[in-house]
Amino acid sequence: MSLDDPRPDDSSAFEEAVAVGDTARYVLRLYITGSTPHSTRAIVNIRKICEEHLRGRYELEVIDISQNPALAAGDQIFAVPTLIKKLPLPLRRFIGDMSQTERILLGLDLRKAGEVPAKLESVD
């Protein structure tokens, strides 16, 4: 069985997943390397997103692999910064400084495709 579960094909299952997303608990892991600019921005941006959209129902673990690269093996990390959504399923990964908020909200199932976005700030 692969680590990444297959994405559901039909829309009803998708909508169900989105509905669950309104109350489900999120477990996120952010891999960074020390205090480089992208890593710093990634932490700030992800925390912002979590506080604004997942307040009280998320767990964010920040893992610094600069001292111990072996930590990257567990979630098969190749590029840093990387954000892994472990829960709710399916597993998702995002790479970069997390500044493209809309894309990430979509990927975290916090936005329906085509929904009009609210004005959001991100650190560039």
Partner 1 sequence: MTATTADEKLRAENADLRVRLEVAEEMLRAISAGEVDSLVVESPAGPRIFTLQGLDASVNRFRGEILAQVSDAVIAVDNLQRVTYLNAAAEQSYGVSASEVLGCHLSGIHKSIWPHPDDGGRAAVALSETGHWCGESVHGRRDGSTIHVKSSVSMLHNMADGTHSGQLSVIRDITERKWAEERIQASLAEKEVLLKEIHHRVKNNLQVISSLVSLQAESLTDERVREVLGDIGDRIRTIALVHEKFYQTENLAQLDFADYASSLLNYIWHTHGTLAGKVRLELAMVPVVMPIESAVTCGLILNELAGNALKHAFPKGSSGEVTVGLERDPATATLCLWVRDNGTGLPEGLEWRQTSTLGLRLVRMLSGQLGGTLATGHGPGAEFRVTFIQKEIHT
Cβ nearer to partner 1, comparing 18 with 33: 33
Residue 24 sits in the site that holds partner 1 (CB under 8 A): no
**Could you give the 3-state DSSP secondary structure of residue 75?**
coil
Spatial separation of the C-alpha atoms in residues 42 and 59, rounded to whole Å: 16
Spatial separation of the C-alpha atoms in residues 21 and 24, rounded to whole Å: 5
Per-residue x/- mask for partner 1, residues 75 to 94, rule CB under 8 A?
--xxxxx-----------xx
Cβ nearer to partner 1, comparing 70 with 116: 70
Residue 51 sits in the site that holds partner 1 (CB under 8 A): yes
Residue 118 sits in the site that holds partner 1 (CB under 8 A): no
Contacts 24+ apart (CB under 8 A), 73-77: 75/29, 75/31, 76/3, 77/31
The correct pick among 14, 17, 27, 47 for binding partner 1 (CB under 8 A) is 47
